[in-house]
Amino acid sequence: MAPTKKKSIAMRPYIRKLESLIDAAKQLNTTFDLNKILSIILDHATKNLNAARGTIYLIDERTQEIWSKVVKGTGLVEIRLPIGTGISGTVAKTGRTINVKDASKDKRFYSAIDTKSGFHTKTMLCRPMRNRNGVIIGVFQIINKKRGFFDRNDEFFLDAFSEHASLAIENSRLYQADLEHARVDKEIQIAAEMQQQLFPKELIQIPSYELSATVQPCASIGGDSYDIIPLKDGKFAITIADVSGKGIPAALLVSTLHGLLRVYIQYPLELVELVRRLNTLVYNISPAERFITFFIMIFDPVNHKFTYVNAGHNPPFLFRKSRNDINELMASGLPLGIVEEQQFEPHQIDLHHGDTLVLYTDGVTEAANKKLQQYGEKKLRECVLRNFETTADTIKGCIVKDLRGFIGNYPMSDDFTIMVLKRDTDPSR
């Protein structure tokens, strides 16, 4: 019976370590808080290796650094070292365990931390922390064995602990990433709702005219915009704009333009001066790669005339019923924000009975199908000509339907906006 008893006694340390691993796994499953996870890992590692203290370094792939949080005063401070610096940094780089009996005699030892903290590092065991795929995600740095030196059993324990520790760390990161995605999604949803408030809730009814419009971002928010602003003298300002790029940066810039326009349009400025001021402001507040194509017209529904400036925007189509032809309202200046000081040229057009004006952004004509063929201006003209005798709302709807039919299931790569203004066909009005 004696040999069996001796064997049982010899196995006790291994059993305790196995029990410790099970206990650690249970504790690690109770939280997604990374600081708590690292504390649990470090506590179990130092206790089982009978060490004075330790540090868990994690690898930041983006910056190619190892980092950790250490106690300073009553709080935690983050320390970072380039991968390859110090003994832990070397382990992170090479993936090989380093076990030293006197760290101060090892040329790889980074002594600056000891100098700052006043702690004296003697023995040190640094072992890579690998996930289930064998990828190094961190480094165990265990310091100052209380009796003797770190041995192979200590290394084996860290190996066994590594998978539990790395799984908890990666679960924490995934959880935090999910939280961040949820937060960003919520903010984008709020931004989208705010952007929708910028568009007219109901299109203004203009006597003797029909007006219809839609804006459809390819993501939740986009860089397209349109507006109809009633002016004090009974006229209307009608605009359409498209910021280069898409997403949140484009949405922010087009929202800024919307606000600036609403302010300046109330002042007695000539149209060209208004656009010139908008251009200068956009130039000053936007990065070099951002600009805005912009079309604005001041519309007089009594005299059926409008004055417009086209700042680099897709030329709107003016369909003349009497002549059954199409005029393109070409750009007379660069997009807003490209050049700080530039000149814009105004033009004036009459609208006759049955005439139709179609404004759009390049998300319409540049929309592509799975063969990467673009919808193009030709198809847009043909679609309007087929529906020329219908209402403005029907024309807009037919363009959207025709466009969707053309691209099929291929995803939209850009926002698109369509506005249709049509004068009635009754000559008595």
The answer to whether residues 147 and 29 belong to one domain is: yes
The answer to whether residues 147 and 197 belong to one domain is: no
Per-residue confidence of the chain (429 residues) as pLDDT tens digits?
455 554 444 445 555 655 666 676 677 777 788 888 888 888 888 888 888 888 889 989 889 998 887 655 545 667 888 999 889 899 999 999 999 898 888 888 877 766 666 677 888 899 998 888 888 989 999 989 988 899 888 888 888 888 788 888 888 888 887 777 777 666 556 655 655 666 666 778 888 899 999 988 776 566 788 888 899 888 999 999 988 876 677 777 878 888 888 888 888 889 999 999 999 999 998 888 889 999 999 999 999 999 999 999 999 999 988 777 788 999 888 999 999 988 899 999 999 998 999 999 998 999 999 989 999 999 999 999 888 889 999 999 999 999 999 998 888 778 889 999 999 876 655
In a domain? residue 183: no
pLDDT at 312: 93
In a domain? residue 56: yes
In a domain? residue 163: yes
Number of neighbouring beta carbons within 10 Å of residue 193: 11
> Which tokens is 217 given?
């971002």
The answer to whether residues 196 and 142 belong to one domain is: no
In a domain? residue 179: no
The answer to whether residues 70 and 28 belong to one domain is: yes
pLDDT at 334: 92
pLDDT at 53: 86
pLDDT at 9: 45
The answer to whether residues 407 and 269 belong to one domain is: yes
In a domain? residue 9: yes
413's CB contacts (< 8 A; 6+ apart) are: 218, 366, 367, 368
The answer to whether residues 29 and 101 belong to one domain is: yes
* Residue of 124, 94, 127 lying closest to 109 (CA atoms): 124
Distance CA 375, CA 416 (A): 12
Q: How wide is the angle at C-alpha 185 spanned by C-alphas 179 and 189, nearest 5°?
A: 145
Number of neighbouring beta carbons within 10 Å of residue 60: 12
Distance CA 14, CA 397 (A): 75
pLDDT at 7: 46
**Domain ranges, residue 9:** 2-174
The answer to whether residues 33 and 167 belong to one domain is: yes
> Which tokens is 186 given?
């919520």
Question: Which string of b and e fits 30-44 if b means at least 16 CB within 10 Å?
Answer: ebbebeebbbbbbeb
Instruction: Indicate which CATH number applies to the domain containing 66.
Output: 3.30.450.40
The answer to whether residues 148 and 258 belong to one domain is: no
Distance CA 175, CA 124 (A): 33
In a domain? residue 406: yes
The structure's pTM equals 0.61
The answer to whether residues 99 and 246 belong to one domain is: no
The DSSP secondary structure of 218-245, one letter per residue, reads SSSS-SEEEEEEE-TTS-EEEEEEEESS
Q: How many domains does the chain have?
A: 2
The answer to whether residues 108 and 228 belong to one domain is: no
